[in-house]
Structure 1
Amino acid sequence: MTVLTELKVPNHLKQWVVDQNYSKYTAIDQGVWRYVMRQNHNFLKDVAHEKYTTGLTESGISINKIPKVEEMNECLRPFGWRAVTIDGFIPAVAFFSFQANGILPIASEIRKLKNILYTPAPDIIHEAAGHAPILCDPEYSTFVKLLSSIGAKAIATKEEHEVFEAARALSNLMETGIASDEEIKKAENLLTEKQSAVKTVSEAEQIARLYWWTVEFGMIGTTDNPKIFGAGLLSSVGESANSLTNKVKKLPFQLEHVIATSFDISKQQPHLFVCENFEQLTKEVLRFSETMAFKKGGTESLEKALKSEATATVEMSSGLQVTGTVTNIIKDEKDEAIFFKMEGPSTLSFENKTLSGHGKDRHFHGFSSPIGKLKSTNKQLEDFSAIDLIQHNIVIGERTTLLFESDVQVSGTVREIMKRDNKIILITLKEVTVTHNDKILFEPEWGEFDLAVGSTITSVFGGAADPENFFQTEDINQSVGQIGANKLEHNCLDTMYEWIRNIREKGQVTFEDEQELRRIENTLKVNFPKDWLLRLELVELLHTNSILHEVELQLRSQLDKLSMVDDNLSELINKGLKLLKS
């Protein structure tokens, strides 16, 4: 794909990228975009962060039509960002990885008219109109990239991974509109079951809370006079207005309070956090990062990787990075890790680049290694000089026995000693036996043994050290997954939406147009008694051009009747009519 090549999207992220396929958006979709954007801009221009209004234009977003993400991509380049379209929900680590690389992932889908107030699934209104404008602020941009780079390294638990999959399935079911009540109920029950299985708050969940209460629902300024900058507020017709009322408590941003506060994506927020400025957020995120496994290392961090049952990277004090799925840890009497094992495809890297000959082909079934110093010396093995190696009989071609302080013993013939930056990072042995007390950890029949050199574990993080090579997928999803057949039908209602849009964009109404507008009003009355948005657009067109006053009155009467049916519908209609007076 030309766009992906120009963007240089990392290989491991390409699987989430889709073509926007702009022609699939119907005139009804365009109407939904225009309604939401007109409402939001009218309200937010005075209450959002100062970058919101100019940021819309700077990021290539129009109020009147769904943006083309290719055009947004070009507009965002001067601000250090790019943009791609993705297909709905993607894993948090992938989402963070996109943003850490300065790429804004934008869902290609748009909410249905019936979900105009809120959709549980990601859509282009939220991710383009919500996220993009404020990214044009350099201080905010710095914060988002920093938070995302940290988020991409966060380690989640197995249970949290399962919650994500269940939430994704439910969200997709609810937005498609074709699932039965039984199917939705089953998906809801599964999500509840998976959520109840989560017993601890992982660092990944804490990062998610930080992201939620800032990037998604953040406010800036003072608690008495806050301004909106969170994408969830900037893209919501109702919640942005509600957020500034006394119904929603405004709390000063305090890191410990934020990461301790959970959230519910299906409900409006009962409270919001207000930061002083974006520099405060950057400072606090850096402070939080010091508590994470990728900064702390050690046994505690290794255990986080074990509980995640997902791809993680263990970095040794020599600088060697081991990527795979941690499945076992052996500890000493002080409860400190002395040996770890990974199962499944694993790789060895240095400075985030896979070592030649140590990709998944060599370590297809896994990897294991002791941790710590040798018993015979206080010097760390990675710091051994040539003389030290000879004194300890670590010589290529010679048989040796390495006894660690932990009583892990490695016996075999040295085949290779690998160094990087004057440190020994790897010793490869053949005809090897590895034991701990009376337990055999590695046998000669299993092949060569690569000893990961490192007296301590300095870092553990989620994902791969070299994701480009570890996740070697070139598969690019060309489908637009959630756009259903109902959106592809160019039906009568959609044709009328398109007529109204074309007349509005033309800027003048001819006699022939007036006759067509009369026919549209009659067709609405007979065949589409419940469609409120097209009636609203028709009223706007007639009112703006001061034509067909009697038709406008009929339409207003129809809208009044629709308003009596449902409170939410009444609010949508009244807000739309209010714009005609402003």
Structure 2
Amino acid sequence: MNQSALIQSLPEHLRGFVQYQDYSRYTPQDHALWRCLMAQLSERLQQTAHAVYMDGLRLTGISLDHIPSIEEMNEALAALGWRAVVVDGFIPPAVFMEFQALRILVIALDMRAVEHTLYTPAPDILHEAAGHAPFIVDVDYAEFLQLFGEVGMRAIASKEDHAVYDAIRALSDLKACANGTPADIAEAEARLEAVTAANTELSEAALLARLHWWTVEYGLVGAVDDYRIFGAGLLSSLGESVHCLDDDAVQKLPLTVDAINTAYDITREQPQLFVTSSCKHLSQVLREFANSMAYQQGGLAGLQKAIAAASVCTAQYQSGLQVSGRFCDVRADAVGNVIWLRTEGPTQLAYQESQLPGHGTQAHASGFSSPVGLVKDFSRCLSEYSVDELKAHGIVVGDSVRLAFLSGITVSGKLVGIHRQDQRNLVFSFENCTATDLAGDVLYRPEWGVFDMAVGARIPSVFGGSADRAAYPLHTPPASHREPILPAQDDALLGTYAAIDAVVRGNRSLEAGQLEAWARVAQRYPDEWLLRVEFLRLEGSVGGVGLLKGRARSELETILQSKPALAATLRF
């Protein structure tokens, strides 16, 4: 499937996040940096990564010698039941998780700049492709990754979480761009620090992010005294892939759901890592956490989480009706049963993740409220009664109807419509309606207009986001205003990178005077360490080739003296 067809096959609300990979944008220097890093990583990971890793690279369309194209990856991933799309930098976590739930890997479009060889401030294709994709070949891991997406897209995220994401995205763009001034970066860092400090009550999404970090990004597999690397953050980092093996510096702990109690700092090497016994064990731990989430528990506790988050969430009635909005009030009886809920601001009514006709955010722009529970003298939930059964109880469209709930809430007015779907009553619409509670306090007044009453005896599930995400989108594709750090634009330099690779691959023979021309280009770029690394790929140790390689090695050693972090990490 080509890129255009793949994008068109996506749900409409996800398409805007997907970019088109123009493969010609990657320069010979980009490919050289990919080769350098992948050669270094693959050599070190042969004995330290999970046994699946090296085969996984090949089986997911990832080569060691060139940046993968999304078509190459998708051709390989199709055999595994997965796909991949490319995106620009960070995307909202809920969107990322939804892609993953659809068995779609999200791959950052850009290749890191040479200036960011060891640390990239924005996601890049090396981390996303070479770090995340290879383990898809393990069925248990693939199941875990998809499950993580399904759980993650239901997690309740707070307004503070959204502020943290916006701040991270802004800072990442500034650090990864050519026009990010020190003052701008300092301001963005201060903003991120402020919003992070304000995020004191951790949401489900924040806790799940910790579990994601300690497994998908920085996980180890095996036993605490005999482990292998599988986390993408470790696999794609020259420094971390070595540092994590130092048992004196990095404590190894058995993975349990308690890992969510451990915070992480993306700016420094981790002081501890968690070891899972197997990929199947990962899913077990994830399910342990999921069992505590509002989408599994629902009820009063779930709605209280939604209110505390102050973000758009969805409450699902036992009838299947879904109410999506910013919840601001919930009432319960003496034993904790939800009896009334209310949202403020745009609200959507849906069923099976599809918005009900006439019940979008425009129809409920100012909010929504409704009782929850059983009606007196009805042996079943009101949603389960047929039209004839309702009629036998005096509930007829066009007539005045009074519903007295067990909670003491009473709804009375002219019934003007019933929305039925799959032989269920989902919404009763009243005109001239009054709703009161047990104490006689008015919950809804006739002058407020039509009262659309949700039908359902309880709330078994509450989850983050809207039910019909296409009709009620919460995230818009972020506009990137960054000017990328461009690789060298000198045609002679880029041509030298391309020519060396062609010779090494055997696609071209050395021409007379070519070595001397390459040496002259190197003299014009005395700090271009990567070009010297490319020279070392040439075969031969005598004659002109040997002389060029010897000079390149000596110059490389000199250059790296001024780059201690690089010198301590790279091996030649």
- Which is further off, 247-256 or 150-159? 247-256
Instruction: Tell me the alpha carbon deviations over residues 415-442 of structure 1, each in whole angstroms, 9 at most, x when there is no partner.
Output: 2233445543221112223344565443
3-state SS in 1 of match to 2:140? helix
Higher alpha-carbon deviation: 101-110 or 461-470: 461-470
Query: Could you say which residue in structure 1 is the equivalent of 2:117?
Result: 116
Aligned to 2:349: 348
- How big is each residue's C-alpha offset from its partner over 1:505-535, in whole Å with a ceiling of 9 and x where there is no partner? 33554232xx23322223322x322111111
Which position in structure 1 is the counterpart of 2:374?
373
- C-alpha distance in 2, partners of 1:411/1:122? 56
Q: Which moved more, 1:374-383 or 1:106-115?
A: 374-383
- With structure 1 as the length reference, what TM-score do the two structures score? 0.91
Letter in 2 for 1:68: S
User: TM-score of the superposition, structure 2-length normalised?
Assistant: 0.92
Q: Aligned residue for 1:450?
A: 452
Residue correspondence of structure 1 range 221-300 to structure 2 within 5 A: 221-246=222-247, 247-256=249-258, 258-300=259-301
1:466 to 452, 459, 468: 468
Contact 1:24–1:487 (CA under 8 A) maintained in structure 2:
no
Deviates more, 1:555-564 or 1:33-42: 555-564
Q: 1:6 to 1:162 in 2, by over 3 A?
A: closer
Shift of 1:352: 2.5
The 5 Å alignment of 1:354-503 reads 354-374=355-375, 379-384=380-385, 389-390=390-391, 393-436=394-437, 437=439, 439-471=441-473, 484=484, 486-487=486-487, 489=489, 491-503=491-503
Aligned in 2, Cα 1:355/1:70: closer, same or farther, shift over 3 Å?
A: same
1:538 matched to which residue of 2?
535
Which deviations, in whole Å up to 9, do the C-alpha atoms of 1:275-326 show, x marking residues without a partner?
Answer: 1111111122122211100000011111222222322211012221112222
Amino acid in the other structure paired with 2:501: R
Q: 1:122-176 deviations in whole A, cap 9, x for unaligned?
A: 1100100111111111111001101110011000121121111111111111111
| Partner SS for 1:511 | coil
Amino acid across the alignment from 2:229: I
1-side partners of 2:413 and 2:541: how far apart?
Answer: 87
Equivalent residue for 2:194?
A: 193
The alpha carbon displacement at 1:400 in A equals: 1.9
CA contact (8 A) 2:400 2:414 kept: yes
Q: Structure 2: which amino acid aligns with 1:269?
A: Q
Q: 1:199, CA displacement in angstroms?
A: 1.4
- Within the candidate set 514, 517, 533, 1:519 is matched to 517
Alpha carbons of structure 1 residues 98 and 346: separation in structure 2 relative to 1, 3 Å: same
Partners of 1:65 and 1:19 in 2: CA distance:
18
Which secondary structure state, in structure 2, belongs to the residue aligned with residue 486 of structure 1? coil
How has the CA–CA distance of structure 1 residues 180 and 134 changed in structure 2, closer, same or farther, with 3 Å as cutoff? same
CA drift at 1:390: 4.5
Give yes or no for the alignment of 1:559 onto 2:561: no
Gaps of 5+ in 1: 578-582
Kindly indicate whether the alpha-carbon contact (under 8 Å) linking 1:316 and 1:456 is maintained by their aligned counterparts in 2: yes
Residues 120 and 266 of structure 1 are in contact (CA less than 8 Å); yes or no, is this contact kept in structure 2? Answer: no
Q: For 2:434, what is the secondary structure of its paired residue?
A: strand
Helix, strand or coil for the counterpart of 1:238? helix
Instruction: Identify the residue that residue 132 of structure 1 maps to in structure 2.
Output: 133
1:297–1:457 CA contact under 8 A, matched in 2: yes
Match of 1:56 in 2: 57
Cα 1:45/1:382, change in 2 over 3 Å? same
Contact persistence 2:178–2:482 (CA under 8 A): no
Code of the residue aligned with 2:525 in structure 1: it is F
Identify the range of structure 1 (155-164 vs 403-412) with the bigger mean alpha-carbon deviation: 403-412
1:509–1:390 CA distance, 2 compared to 1 (3 A): closer
Conserved? CA contact 2:488–2:494, under 8 Å: no
Indicate the residue corresponding to 1:14 in structure 2: 15
Give the whole-Å Cα distance in 1 for the aligned partners of 2:375 and 2:4: 49
What is the aligned length?
569
CA distance in 2, matches of 1:124, 1:337: 47
Q: For residues 229 and 93 of structure 1, do their structure 2 counterparts lie closer, same or farther at Cα, with a shift above 3 Å needed? A: same
Query: Structure 1 residues 204 and 45, CA, compared in 2 at 3 Å: closer, same or farther?
Result: same
Aligned to 2:360, the other structure's residue is in SS state: coil
Asked if 2 retains the 8 angstrom alpha-carbon contact of 1:70 and 1:84, the reply is no
Larger RCO, structure (CA 8 Å, separation 6 or more): 1
Counterparts of 2:344 and 2:489 in 1: how far apart (Å)? 49
CA contact (8 A) 1:20 1:480 kept: no
Structure 2 residue matching 1:105: 3-state secondary structure: strand
Q: Is the 8 A contact 1:88 1:482 kept in 2?
A: no
For the 8 Å contact 1:562–1:569, the answer to whether it is kept is: no
Q: After TM superposition, list the pairs within 5 Å mapping 1:34-45 onto structure 2.
A: 34-45=35-46
**Structure 1 6/177 Cα, relative in aligned 2: closer, same or farther at 3 Å?**
closer
TM-superposed deviation, 1:336: 5.7
CA distance in 1, matches of 2:477, 2:186: 32
User: Residue type of the partner of 1:265?
Assistant: I
Q: Residue 580 of structure 1 aligns with which residue?
A: none
Q: Which amino acid aligns with 2:168?
A: A
Kindly state the Cα deviation for residue 504 of structure 1 after the two structures are TM-superposed.
Answer: 2.5
Paired position in structure 2 for 1:174? 175
Does the Cα contact within 8 Å between 2:313 and 2:466 map onto a contact in 1?
yes
Supply the AA of the counterpart residue of 1:495. G
Letter in 1 for 2:561: M
Change (3 A) 1:489 1:537: closer
Conserved in 1, the CA contact under 8 Å of 2:515 and 2:544? no
What is the percent sequence identity of the aligned residues?
Answer: 38
Greater CA drift, 244-253 or 432-441: 432-441
Quickly say closer, same or farther: Cα 1:545–1:183, change in 2 above 3 A.
Answer: farther
Compared CA separation, residues 490 and 402, structure 1 to 2 (3 A): farther
Q: Residues of 2 paired with 1:297 and 1:544: CA distance?
A: 70
Distance in 1, matches of 2:400 and 2:541, equals: 91
Cα 1:59–1:129 change in 2 (3 A) is same
Task: State the SS of the aligned residue for 1:291.
Answer: coil
| Matched letter for residue 559 of structure 1 | L
Instruction: Give the equivalent residue in structure 1 for 2:327.
Output: 326
The answer as to whether partners of 1:412 and 1:431 remain within 8 angstroms in 2 is yes
Which residue matches 1:23?
24
More deviation, 130-139/423-432: 423-432
1:73 has 2:78 as partner: no
Secondary structure in 2 aligned to 1:548? helix
Deviations along 1:191-236, one digit per CA (max 9) or x if unpaired, are: 1111110112221122111111111111111112211111111111
Contact persistence 1:542–1:552 (CA under 8 A): no
Deviation at 1:457, TM superposition (A): 1.0
In structure 2, how many angstroms separate the alpha carbons of the residues matched to 1:6 and 1:235?
27
TM-superposed CA distance for 1:465, in Å, is 2.1
Q: Residue 195 of structure 1 aligns to a residue in which SS?
A: helix
**What 5-or-longer segments of structure 2 have no aligned partner?**
none
Contact 1:12 1:472 in 2 (8 A): no
RMSD across aligned positions (CA):
2.6
Structure 1 residues 178, 491: CA separation in 2 closer, same or farther (over 3 Å shift)? Answer: farther
* Residue of structure 2 equivalent to 1:548: 545
SS in 2 for 1:176: coil
Compared CA separation, residues 169 and 114, structure 1 to 2 (3 A): same
Checking the alignment, whether the CA contact within 8 Å between 1:373 and 1:455 is kept in structure 2 is yes
